[in-house]
Amino acid sequence: MSELDLKAQKLVLKAQELDAADELAALRGKFVLDTASDPADLEDLEDLADLSGRAGDGDGAGVYLDGNSLGALPAAVPAHVDDVVRRQWGSLRIRSWDESGWWTAPERIGDRIAPLVGAAAGQIVVGDSTSVNVFKALVAAVRMAGDGRDGRDGRDGRDGRDGRDGRDEILVDATTFPTDGYIAGSAARMTGCSLRPVTPSEVPGALSDRTAAVLLNHVDYRTGRLHDLPGLTAAVHEAGAYAVWDLCHSAGALPVGLDEYGVDLAVGCTYKYLNGGPGSPAYLYVRRDLQPRFDSPLPGWNSHAEPFGMRPEYTPAPGALRGRVGTPDILSMLALEAALEVWDGVTIESVRAKSLALTDFFLECVAAYVPEGRVEFLTPAAHAERGSQVALRCPDAGDVMKRLIENGVVGDFRHPDVLRFGFTPLYVGFGDVERAGRVLGDVLVS
Amino acid sequence: MSELDLKAQKLVLKAQELDAADELAALRGKFVLDTASDPADLEDLEDLADLSGRAGDGDGAGVYLDGNSLGALPAAVPAHVDDVVRRQWGSLRIRSWDESGWWTAPERIGDRIAPLVGAAAGQIVVGDSTSVNVFKALVAAVRMAGDGRDGRDGRDGRDGRDGRDGRDEILVDATTFPTDGYIAGSAARMTGCSLRPVTPSEVPGALSDRTAAVLLNHVDYRTGRLHDLPGLTAAVHEAGAYAVWDLCHSAGALPVGLDEYGVDLAVGCTYKYLNGGPGSPAYLYVRRDLQPRFDSPLPGWNSHAEPFGMRPEYTPAPGALRGRVGTPDILSMLALEAALEVWDGVTIESVRAKSLALTDFFLECVAAYVPEGRVEFLTPAAHAERGSQVALRCPDAGDVMKRLIENGVVGDFRHPDVLRFGFTPLYVGFGDVERAGRVLGDVLVS
């Protein structure tokens, strides 16, 4: 046996042991995954080309490490969606707004997400896209920070003519997913603020009595770095500003602790680690004590205290549903609700433990199978700084990912030179991880 | 036979003749409707109680006249949605963004809606709710009307300090669906404008060189009144302002002529006469020559010229897709796409002709079956002023609608005293209309 084969033998055995001890392993059965969960037989190791061919055979077969972009299909979803379409829409029709619970779905599903992000009930509504929710949250935060900081009232505040010294600056994570920066730019422009891009580590030094709100990503979409939500939130509060967190890459993968750390507002998508389906609706968290001051820039009729009163004057509803806007997108929303059933009886702490074990093991496999120096590790080694993905940099990343996918290992490529591998603990096993590392090594040396 | 029975005999025969001559009658087969399409047998007329009992038997059975709230289920939708869920999401997963055409769905489906509202391709994108699109359209219109009319730049314009005489007023239809007024209020507040509610007939007199934009409903949601889109648009343009039309209650029911009449921006929902399903995504029309000046208040990454470039600077895409925001809601969007297949080979002109025939016939049936003075007709008698619904006012409307629904005739009730009956020409027949009128008469005299 070659040195590589010996390493592989060891890692395959370790994967088998880890899978056997995995208390979440049975959850894999709640997803539609067209690949075997067992690690490869040792015999297969003799012929990596054969292994790769087998894994890559057929549509979508192989190891799926792109759940940080689009989560796999939970097995309960298709039948539920069919019922929503045929019976709730097709037969009950308009009656379903009451009888099938359509009208209350945004807050009901929000309450289902709440424990996964450390929030008590009554603080989350589901609906709209992440971008739209970033806009709501950031504008509302600026308004909380300095009453009347919008276009009409804020003018006076900004140039000091009425003696108010305004909080007129929004800090935004410069490394964040671009849409957050674009939307923050619009929120700043429309509230008379300036926008100051900083890195998360620069936030404490950049905070001042001018700071109105700070928009941060909990986990960086590119590097997989986990930021210090408790510490940064405390620093933002210390400066008298409001913290808005984007949880797209952390919710469902690790504990967030929104209530515990006093986060003001938060948003997130549901199609990554929450497996809600392509473009499934996002959510908005508004901390309970801030809800009476949540002044939405998108006061649609769904957020009215009496939506069917059809009143010309806007009176916001109490509570989290003040964050609603228009008619909720029922098909996508109820698909998400069915998808969330996989969480019944699962704690986010157990998911986090497995996530770290998976990424640790992947780093170990990459170190074993990939020649030193061939890739750069972008994801921090420290657990406290790691989300549920591993990002590797290499100059030919685009081509490498193409070949990985051809060989049945699905991650994704981020311009210009990043390979991303997402590990969803609900359905990714250690055998998958070993196989992915081995195929990656094969692709990188060939 | 009583006088009422003689009237009924005549109307049933007329319904049969109209149904027989209806060139759109076959389209009914493209929808899931659990009720017979034939008018009642004449024998049934002897016993209205029996008829009502039969029609009201079972979930959702009967005459569905609430397509102006939620369109019926097109028969092609369930299988298509199942394919989207099981194959596109469940098997192809992330590959579907390209291979299943997910990424381009907003503009592709926009182009499918375009001919129904008189728009050439390349001017409509689908996504978000109507409320969110009203916000985009109105803020963009104000920005077009007076450069820099937003919170930061507009301040100077508004108080004239820099010598610009500003267009700082938004006119909004005071009779409009409330969400439009609420969102217009937010758009005004955030762009430094004032909001002036007027009735549509007051618009010409209210226009001035202060007017930035005018938001109007094409068909009033409550009364069913059709407003003069060509004339009002021309008046708005004459005043140098921008016209934003809400097509929720007209698209799919009558010709709109967006391009022909030079409408600037328009929005609409897709779950009424377009039968897209509960909360299906709305759409935004931006006239081609205005697209380079469309400055969105929600510049999400989907509207970026290079969305996967992940650039920190926002550079808007050319064309209609500048109106996109975040990740599109694929399940709901592709359900809508399948729902739109029923329009293949159908002209909006033929739909309008049948719509007017249906509402004419309903007014005739109401006049025959309902004692004079028992209800007030809110919907104009003139074809040029009538949408595809009939609204009747009576003091006990809430109770009347409850009893109508118990008897198998589904319309809806709008606070405080309005009965609404919507007529979707694609699946409502003249036999339905006669039956609805007869059951209404029965309920109102009992």
CA distance A388 to A71: 13
> What is the pLDDT at residue A147?
60
> What is the pLDDT at residue B415?
87
Helix B430-445 vs helix B397-406: crossing angle, to nearest 10 = 120
* Beta pairing class for B389-393 and B376-377: antiparallel
CA distance A195 to A177: 16
CA distance A212 to A144: 8
> What is the pLDDT at residue B146?
81
> What is the pLDDT at residue A45?
44
A104 and B CB contact within 8 Å:
no
CA distance B161 to B298: 28
What pLDDT, in 10s, does the model give residues A341-373? Answer: 999 999 999 999 999 999 999 999 999 999 999
Please, are residues B430 and B39 in contact by the beta-carbon 8 Å criterion?
yes
> What is the pLDDT at residue B147?
60
Judged by CB atoms closer than 8 Å, whether chains meet at A91 and B32 is answered as yes
To the question of whether residue B379 is assigned a binding role by annotation, the answer is: no
Residues 6+ positions from A159 with CB-CB distance below 8 Å: none
- The answer, yes or no, to whether residue A440 has pLDDT greater than 90, is yes
Judged by CB atoms closer than 8 Å, whether chains meet at B329 and A280 is answered as yes
> What is the pLDDT at residue B51?
40
Which residues of B fall within a CB distance of 8 Å from A309?
415
> What is the pLDDT at residue B293?
96
pLDDT mean over A326-343: 98
CATH code at B80-343: 3.40.640.10
- Reported confidence tier of residue B398, pLDDT bands at 50, 70, 90: very high
B427 part of the active site: no
What does the block give as tokens for B84? 């989207």
Which residues of B fall within a CB distance of 8 Å from A276?
none
- State residue A64 phi and psi, 5-degree precision: -100, 105
Do domains B3-61+345-445 and B80-343 share one topology? The answer is no
> What is the pLDDT at residue B295?
97
Please, are residues A377 and A361 in contact by the beta-carbon 8 Å criterion?
no
Residues 6+ positions from A104 with CB-CB distance below 8 Å: none
- CB interface of B with A, residues 359-378, below 8 Å: none
What pLDDT, in 10s, does the model give residues A111-156? Answer: 999 999 999 999 999 999 999 999 999 999 999 998 633 333 333 3
- The answer, yes or no, to whether residue A40 has pLDDT greater than 80, is no
DSSP bridge pairs for A265 = A244, A286
Give the range among A226-230, B57-61, B383-387 with minimum mean pLDDT. Answer: B57-61
Sole residue written with tokens 């090594």? A441
Residue B257 burial by Cβ neighbours in a 10 Å radius (0-12, 13-18, 19+): middle
End-to-end Cα distance, chain A: 19
Nearest chain A alpha carbon to B197: A312
Please, are residues A60 and B95 in contact by the beta-carbon 8 Å criterion?
yes
B79 and A CB contact within 8 Å:
no
For B93, the closest of A72, A129, A308 (CB atoms) is A72
pLDDT mean over B79-91: 98
pLDDT mean over B17-23: 98
> What is the pLDDT at residue A259?
98
To the question of whether residue B246 is assigned a binding role by annotation, the answer is: yes
More confident residue, B175 or B395: B395
Multiple choice CATH, A3-61+346-445, 3.40.50.720, 3.90.1150.10, 3.40.50.920, 3.40.1190.20: 3.90.1150.10
Q: Where are the beta strands (DSSP E) in B150-218?
A: 169-173, 194-198, 211-217
- State residue B325 phi and psi, 5-degree precision: -130, -90
E strand or H helix at B240: none
Query: Distance, in angstroms, between A245 CA and closest chain B CA?
Result: 17
> What is the pLDDT at residue B323?
98
pLDDT averaged over every residue in chain A: 90
pLDDT averaged over every residue in chain B: 90
What pLDDT, in 10s, does the model give residues A225-263? Answer: 999 999 999 999 999 999 999 999 999 999 999 999 999
- The answer, yes or no, to whether residue B101 has pLDDT greater than 70, is yes
For a pLDDT cut of 70, what percent of chain B falls above it?
Answer: 90
For B85, the closest of A78, A182, A412 (CB atoms) is A78
pLDDT mean over A378-387: 96
CA distance B300 to B106: 14
- Reported confidence tier of residue B175, pLDDT bands at 50, 70, 90: confident
> What is the pLDDT at residue A311?
87
> What is the pLDDT at residue A43?
45
Tell me which of A22, A246, A329, A432 is the catalytic residue. Answer: A246
Which residues of B fall within a CB distance of 8 Å from A142?
none
To the question of whether residue A178 is assigned a binding role by annotation, the answer is: yes
> What is the pLDDT at residue B40?
42
> What is the pLDDT at residue A174?
84
> What is the pLDDT at residue B43?
44
Report DSSP letters for A48-110, one per residue.
HHHHHHHHT-STT-SEE--TTTSPPPBTTHHHHHHHIIIIIIIIIGGGHHHHT--TTHHHHHH
pLDDT mean over A153-172: 57
Pairs of residues, one from chain A and one from chain B, whose beta carbons lie less than 8 Å apart: 294
Query: Distance, in angstroms, between B408 CA and closest chain A CA?
Result: 12
- The answer, yes or no, to whether residue B271 has pLDDT greater than 60, is yes
Sole residue written with tokens 């140098």? B240
A246 part of the active site: yes
- The answer, yes or no, to whether residue A35 has pLDDT greater than 90, is no
Tell me which of A31, A64, A135, A177 is the catalytic residue. Answer: A177
- CB interface of B with A, residues 329-348, below 8 Å: 329-333, 335
What pLDDT, in 10s, does the model give residues A302-316? Answer: 999 999 888 889 999
Residues 6+ positions from B289 with CB-CB distance below 8 Å: none
- The answer, yes or no, to whether residue B35 has pLDDT greater than 90, is no
- CB interface of A with B, residues 209-238, below 8 Å: 222
- Reported confidence tier of residue B94, pLDDT bands at 50, 70, 90: very high
What Cα–Cα distance (Å) separates residue A21 from each residue in A14, A354, A359, A426?
11, 11, 16, 14
Residue of A92, A131, A159, A428 to mutate, testing the B interface (most B Cβ within 10 Å of its Cβ): A131
What pLDDT, in 10s, does the model give residues A195-235? Answer: 999 999 999 999 999 999 999 999 999 999 999 999 999 99
What Cα–Cα distance (Å) separates residue B72 from each residue in A304, A404, B339?
27, 45, 10
B401 and A CB contact within 8 Å:
no
Nearest chain A alpha carbon to B410: A94
Query: Distance, in angstroms, between B72 CA and closest chain A CA?
Result: 6
The candidate with the shortest Cα–Cα distance to B125, out of B296, B4, B347, is: B296
pLDDT mean over B208-219: 97
Q: Where are the beta strands (DSSP E) in B221-380?
A: 242-246, 265-268, 283-286, 376-377
- The full set of domain ranges for chain A reads 3-61+346-445, 80-343
pLDDT mean over B405-432: 96
ipTM of the complex: 0.92
The candidate with the shortest Cα–Cα distance to A176, out of B266, B378, B301, B270, is: B301
A86 and B CB contact within 8 Å:
yes
B177 part of the active site: yes
- The answer, yes or no, to whether residue A171 has pLDDT greater than 70, is yes
Judged by CB atoms closer than 8 Å, whether chains meet at A128 and B128 is answered as yes
Domain range B3-61+345-445, CATH class: alpha beta
> What is the pLDDT at residue A310?
84
